[in-house]
Every structure is written in structure tokens, then in C-alpha cells.
Structure 1
Amino acid sequence: MPHDVDLIILLAAGFGLALVFGYFAARLRLPPLIGYLIAGIIISPNTPGMVGDIQLANQLAELGVMFLMFGVGMHFSLNDLMQVKRIALPGAILQIAVATLLGIAVSMLWGWSFGSALVFGLSLSCASTVVLLKALGDRGLLNSVNGKIAVGWLLVEDLVMVLVLVLLPATAVLLGGKALTDSSATQNIWLTLGITLLKVTGFIAFMLIVGKRLVPLIMQFVARLGSRELFTLTVVAAAVSIAFGAYKVFGVSMALGAFFAGMVVKESDFSHRAEEETLPLREIFSILFFVSVGMLFDPRILIDDPIHVLAVVAIIMIGKTIAAMALVLFFRYPLNTALTVGASLAQIGEFSFILATLGVSLQLLSLEGQNLILAGALISITLNTFIFSAIEPVQNWIRERSHLARLLERSGDPLAMLPDEVSQDYLRDQVVIIGHGEVGRRITRSLMSENIKVVIAEENREIVEDLREKGIAAVSGVATEAGVLIQAHIQHARLLVISPMDIIDIHRIVDISRTLNPQIQVLVCAESKEEAEVIRKEEIGEVYFAKEEMAKNMTNHILNQIQIAHHQSPTH
């Protein structure tokens, strides 16, 4: 009996080719999504051989977008953003503006309309969170100050793009496109925009007032049943139904609905479990999304319009990178931070694809524009690994040219020097603490409660500003540089406390400190048992390892309780 198997063919071919090319991409140390895009190109109508059903692919892509946005919502951390808000917020908005203006200028030179140019420029302005997190994770930079700034920067970009996805359909007619619904096309554009913003506000208010309480409550209720599949189903149902409800009831995009679904799930006590349980499903639909995007790409653009493709790649990898680096240096962050953030943004990804697809459906962007965006994404993601690898050589090259280094690095930075209010008497026999993370904060609080003098050396300028507002002596900079330790007056310090960090950096800090102050005592917080053993073996200083200290404290507590019980027993 004949039956329709188009969906099965599409899934079999899509997943099979995605696996093969994803494997080769990973072997070449490239993000696997490059392989998924190539798999889509192979089964697209634009290349010879097998052709997948493009309509089915588009529907699967919609699901992919929903799960991608759900994942973005689950990873969105207001706390992470707040830690770097003074650089990430203005930096990301200005960088988006610069990249968008570059895209508009270039495309209008090609004779495009302003509406097309605007969508094109916005699509080139936002980097891929997926690519960035993988690049930072591979290099162990996710928890570093540079990594947190880059992630915070992308969180702001994501929020801006969510807002663009909401506003673009409402302004499509004004920009020369068509409305998604006939009714909105006949309305006054400002009325349409006002109604859209009202609906979005209503949806956000509903999610913050009702959704934030109801979804975690349902998850808690289901979790008590102890059924793993029911719990997974609850999270998936929440993502899909909130996304669809947002579209049907409030008239906002399903992408925004899924984003807020992720945010309210994150509020639950079961957020970690929800993330783990839904990860395979989210990754499957993300793969389908990238395959379907590849199916839309026409490789002939690389031969027909190579100059246009090069212009797009230049905006993404040179224009955006230089703009981001200039902004980071303007905010007086070190050269290494500027290079890391610049490299992080030298690519485009999922939001660019979503925006380009929406632009085409609104008749604001041509298929040529979409193909140029896809070509730019493929090339920039492929080359992004090499840009990250070039950070250290470029930094060394700049520092070898002292005039260039002086021009780019911070000069006369007030946070790089202790304030005048810190007296010379205070800077004798003080404790210098490197890093003000959770460990550094607790040590500082305890020492200051005992009136022990403390000086903090911290990379994050925002933390240094906050410490100074509280009257705590703090200096901004990377402690592996002698200048930072000299500013902290390490030469007169009694004790050096080093928060968990890379063993190579610990070596550098201790070497500089002992050169300036041979008598200084060193206390090191180790990140792992292996690191603690290395520090002890090399006699770098007194070492403390969290699990080891916890075991010691618990053992002492148990022994004390046993002794108390022993003395209280009737036989004594």
C-alpha cells in the first residue's frame, strides 16, 4: 500500500549526511554545525543529486528555531550580564549599530532598498552563541573575565535580536515589504507598531506574573511522580505550548515565546534536570534547523558574486572585530580582552539565519541577500577557529612594538593605580588577594571583619569600581603583569592569597611576587586535587583544595562530637 514517506526520507538523509559531515568538521577542529549546513546544501534543490522536501524542512526549521530559542532562554543569566553590564551593554549596542550601518552602506551601494539593507545589516551584526560557547569552552576561557565579557556581550546581542524579531513584522510595510497578515497591512503603521508592543508587553507581563509561578509548580508536581519521561514531556510541552500560545493568543513570534519559556523553566528548582533531560531533543532539532538552512543556500553565489561574498565576510570578520576591539579598549580593558572579544564576534550564526528567513517571508530580503548571509556565516564560522588561534601571536607582535602597545593599551588608567586615599601606612604588612570571585570575597570579608589590611587585584573593572565605592583598596589588571602587583604594593605585603586559576599563571604571579618580596608567604586555592599536588611538590606555597578542606572540617566535627558523647556517657 503506497504511503507518503517524504518526512522519513528527509530525516534519514538529513541526519545521515549531518553525521558524516559533522564528524569531518569535528576532526578538522571546526564547529560541527559547518557539517550540518553542508549536509543541507547537498540535499537542497540548488545542488545535483537527491532533493529533500523544502516545505517539510521549513516546518522542521520552525521547531528548530523554537528549541534553539528555548535553549537561549535557559542559558540566559541576568547575573552574568550584571557582572559585565558596564562594558557589555553599551559595547554590544554600539557594535550592532556599527555592523548594521556597514551592511546598509555596502548593500545600498549595490542598489538595494533601505528595508532590504536594514535586514541585511542586522543579520551581519549578531554573532552565534553556539559557536562562541564552543570556542571559549575548548580554550578553557568560559569562566575567565574575558570569557564572561564575551558571553555577556552576546547575551545583549541576543536580547536586541529578539526585539528585532518582534518589531520587524510590525514595521515590514513601512520598510517596503509585506505584512504577514492582510489585516495588519491595511492599518496605520504606528497603530500596528503600538498594538505589537502592547501585545509583547502583555505577553511578558503574563509570563512574569503567571508563567514564572505556574511552570515551576507544574514541574515540581510532575517531578514528585518520579517518572523521567513525564518530566521530559512536561518541559517539552511547556516550550512548544508557550511558544504556540504566544503566537496564537498574543500575536507575538513563536521564537519570543520559546525564549521566555526557557527563562521561566530556568527559574524552577529543577532547571538543571530540565536542561539535561531536554538537551538531546534540543540538539536534534538544532541539527534539523542547520540542515534546513543549508537547504536554502545556493552555492552558485560563490561563483556569481565573489566580490559581494568577500564584502560580507569583510564586514563580519574585519569591520565587526575592529569595532568591538576599539570599544573594549575605549572602556580601558586590556589588549588581551579586546582581542578575545573581537575574535568571539568575528562570525555570524543562528540569529542571522532566523532574521534572514523572516526577511525573505516579509519580502524585505531577496534570496540573493539570504544566500550572501549564509555564505558569510559558512566562511566566518570556518575561519573563526584560526582567528582565536591568532590572539596570542597578534598580542605578542603588538607588545614587541612598544609605541603601538602604548597607543592601544591603557594609559593613565585610574583603576590601574591605587587611589590617593590609600595611605602609605596602610600599604605595609597588608594581605594581597588575587581575584575577587567567591573564594576571594569570603576571605576579604573575614579579614576585614578582623581589621586586617587587604588589597585586591582583580581583572574585572566593574568589580574594582564596586570595591572602591565600598572603600576597599583594589587595583584593576592582570596579576601576571608586574605592574599590577607593584601597584598592590606586593613588595611590602605580609601575605599573598591566590584564588583558583591556571597553574601557569600561579607560577608567574609567585615568581614576580618573590622577586619583589622574597619573604612573602603564599597561600594558593587549587582547582583540583592534581593541581594541589603539583603546587605542594613544587613548593610554590601553602595550598588549599576545597574538597580536601571540607573533608578535614567534617572529620574534625565528627571527632569532636564523638569526644563530647564519650565524655557525657554514664561510665565517665
Structure 2
Amino acid sequence: MFDTPFAEFAALLLVAALVGAVFVRLRQPVLMAYIVIGIALGPAGLGWVKAHDQVALLAQIGVTVLLFIVGLKLDLQHVRHIGPVALATGLGQLAFTIVLGFGLMLLLGKDVMTALYVAVALTFSSTIIIVKLLTDKRELDSLHGRIAVGFLIVQDLAVVLAMMAMSALRTPADGGATAAWTDVAVSLATRLSLAVGLIALVMRWVLPRLVAAMARSQELLLVFALAWGTGLAALGAWAGFSMEAGAFVAGFTLASTHYRDAISARLGGIRDFLLLFFFIHLGVELDLTTLGQELSSALVLSVFAY
């Protein structure tokens, strides 16, 4: 329908503004409007969205900026206060959901590996949506907001580790499942040790001077913040963790500097603009044609997760 991706993006922005205004008038979260737009204009609807790669890239950058800002708001003092609570609640809910979800999938007649994968998938919380809602309600800096973010980050990291372990279980090494588990454990321990050590060194010796030098120009400070956030996000994905975890850590490393408020304020508008494409992309990627194949299981699991 559109000759160029630019024209498509212009149309998406116009539709987003109009539909978003309707949702705001109805006192509904504007992010729901963006998801509806993605469904309506994606393959399941009118099929207007063709620039999938461009939308996906902007969506990834938006997620990176969002988690980077969240990390900026959690300095070491906050982590000491909310860390134990977030760790206990996050891991507790994770174990509860996996055990009950696994049993429920077995009752639905699924095989063991399918049941295990679905049980782990049920533990995924929509970190991006929850953080966005907390931000819109200006509750991200509240006590419950910080605990919720810590809870979500703990869950995300734990689920990533669980998925890596299950991949080893599904494709064991030549020495068998035991060797595969050993390889995964050694690999994870090595990566975590290197990551923690490197981050500690950078926070102690490199970042303070580097950020102070960049802060001489507000434009340079903004560019550096974006480069640091996206760089660590890419590094996190490359290391086998997640892009979101890398972005969060990038923000956390700058949370103890004197410039975190300035960086956060300048990134706020960029975050809101880019997250528009994340929620549109989320709607575009929804494949409603496969829903009927597992409708009964989906309904049961939805009730359980709710």
C-alpha cells in the first residue's frame, strides 16, 4: 500500500496518535491502543505493515532504552534494601508456577519436555508492559514499583538460565546428559564471573572519568548513554543472557554517578517514542490463526496464570 518505509512509518504514527487519543479519552492505557493498531494493521488484519525489520529494530532499541532507564533508577543503596525481597518473591513465584504448570501440562496430555517448556514459559512476566504502566502512573520510583522491577528482573534472569539448562537437556553432549549439564554449569559460572568482575572494574575505574568527560556536552552525554546502553545490551545477548538484562546492567552501572537524573530526563522522550514501535510490533507478531489448534489448553493455562 505504501511506496516507501518512510510513508508507512508516517501512516503508523498518524494512526497511533488518533487511536491513542481515543483510548486516552476512554481512560485506557495508551499502550493497548498501540497493540490493537499492530493487530489491525498487521498480517492478521489489513496487512499494511510491511517494514517488519525496521519496526522490529526500533522496538528493540525502545526496550533497551526502557530497561536502561530502569537500571539508572536503582543505585546500590536501593538494591541493598529491595534485593532480598525481590529475590525471595521472584524465585518463590518462579518455583510455584513451574511446579504447578508442569503438573497441569501433564494432566492435559503433553509430553515431559513440552510440559517443562510451557511451565517455564508461564513464569515469563511482561516486564516491558509492567514497567511502562508503572512509568505512566509515575510509580516507578515508589517502594512497590522498585520491588516489582527487582522481582521482574530476578525472574527474567532465572528464566534465561532455566532455558539454557533445558536446551542442554534436550541436546546432550556426546558424554550424555550429565556432561551437558556440567558444560552448561561451567559456562554459566564463567560468564557470570567475568561479567561481574568486568562490571566492577568499569564502575570503579573507567566510568566516573569517562562520564565526567562526556558531560561537558549535553549532546555527547546523551549519545554516550545510548551507546553504553545498546552496547551492553548487545553484549548481554552475545554472551547468552538477554538484551534486556544487558541494558538494565548498563543503566545500573551509571546509577551511582552524578549525571543519572540528567541522562534519565533526556532519554524519557526517546523511550516513549520508540516503545510505540515495540507495542505495534507486538501486535503485528500475534498469529491468531494458530489459536484454534490449542484453544482449550490456552484457556486453561490463561486461567491458571491469571
TM-score bracket, normalised by the shorter chain, equals 0.7 to 0.9
For 1:18, what is the secondary structure of its paired residue? helix
1:161 aligns with 2:160: no
Structure 1 residues 89 and 43: alpha-carbon distance in aligned structure 2, compared to 1, 3 A threshold? same
Distance 1:51 1:291 in 2: 10
Match of 2:63 in 1: 65
Match of 1:37 in 2: 35
1:222 aligns with 2:214: yes
Structure 1 residues 212 and 290: alpha-carbon distance in aligned structure 2, compared to 1, 3 A threshold? farther
User: Which of the residues 230, 247, 252 maps onto 1:258?
Assistant: 247
Match of 1:172 in 2: 167
1:76 aligns with 2:71: no
Whether the 8 Å CA contact 2:124–2:155 is kept in 1: the answer is no
Structure 1 residues 137 and 15: alpha-carbon distance in aligned structure 2, compared to 1, 3 A threshold? closer
User: Which structure has the larger Rg?
Assistant: 1
Structure 1 residues 241 and 84: alpha-carbon distance in aligned structure 2, compared to 1, 3 A threshold? closer
Distance 1:136 1:55 in 2: 28
Match of 1:269 in 2: 258
Whether the 8 Å CA contact 2:63–2:128 is kept in 1: the answer is no
1:275 counterpart letter in structure 2: S
TM-score (norm. length: structure 2):
0.80
Match of 2:176 in 1: none
Whether the 8 Å CA contact 2:70–2:248 is kept in 1: the answer is yes
Task: Specify which structure has the higher proportion of helix.
Answer: 2
Match of 1:148 in 2: 143
For residues 347-405 of structure 1, the C-alpha deviation after alignment (integer angstroms, 9 at most, x for no partner) is xxxxxxxxxxxxxxxxxxxxxxxxxxxxxxxxxxxxxxxxxxxxxxxxxxxxxxxxxxx
Match of 1:235 in 2: 225
> 1:235 Cα shift?
0.7
For residues 444-472 of structure 1, the C-alpha deviation after alignment (integer angstroms, 9 at most, x for no partner) is xxxxxxxxxxxxxxxxxxxxxxxxxxxxx
1:210 aligns with 2:202: yes
TM-score (norm. length: structure 1):
0.46
Match of 1:104 in 2: 102
1:288 aligns with 2:287: no
Whether the 8 Å CA contact 2:89–2:151 is kept in 1: the answer is no
Match of 2:186 in 1: 194
Whether the 8 Å CA contact 2:82–2:150 is kept in 1: the answer is no
Distance 2:100 2:232 in 1: 36
Whether the 8 Å CA contact 1:81–1:88 is kept in 2: the answer is no
Question: Larger relative CO (CA 8 A, sep 6+): 1 or 2?
Answer: 2
> 1:45 Cα shift?
1.8
Distance 1:194 1:200 in 2: 10
Distance 1:109 1:177 in 2: 25
- Cα RMSD of the aligned pairs, angstroms, is 3.4
Distance 1:277 1:141 in 2: 19
Whether the 8 Å CA contact 1:37–1:290 is kept in 2: the answer is yes
Structure 1 residues 163 and 85: alpha-carbon distance in aligned structure 2, compared to 1, 3 A threshold? closer
> 1:79 Cα shift?
3.6
Gaps of 5+ in 1: 180-186, 318-572
For residues 420-466 of structure 1, the C-alpha deviation after alignment (integer angstroms, 9 at most, x for no partner) is xxxxxxxxxxxxxxxxxxxxxxxxxxxxxxxxxxxxxxxxxxxxxxx
1:310 aligns with 2:302: no
> 1:203 Cα shift?
1.6
Whether the 8 Å CA contact 1:45–1:51 is kept in 2: the answer is yes
Gaps of 5+ in 2: 174-178
Distance 2:304 2:253 in 1: 36
> 1:275 Cα shift?
0.5
Task: Specify which structure has the higher proportion of strand.
Answer: 1
Distance 2:17 2:37 in 1: 9
> 1:270 Cα shift?
0.1
Distance 2:29 2:186 in 1: 41
> 1:178 Cα shift?
11
> 1:218 Cα shift?
1.6
For residues 268-317 of structure 1, the C-alpha deviation after alignment (integer angstroms, 9 at most, x for no partner) is 11000011111222222222222212111123466665544432332232
Match of 1:28 in 2: 26
Structure 1 residues 166 and 261: alpha-carbon distance in aligned structure 2, compared to 1, 3 A threshold? farther
Distance 2:111 2:20 in 1: 37
> 1:238 Cα shift?
1.0
Give the share of equivalent positions with the same residue, in percent: 23
Distance 2:230 2:136 in 1: 32
Whether the 8 Å CA contact 1:17–1:36 is kept in 2: the answer is no
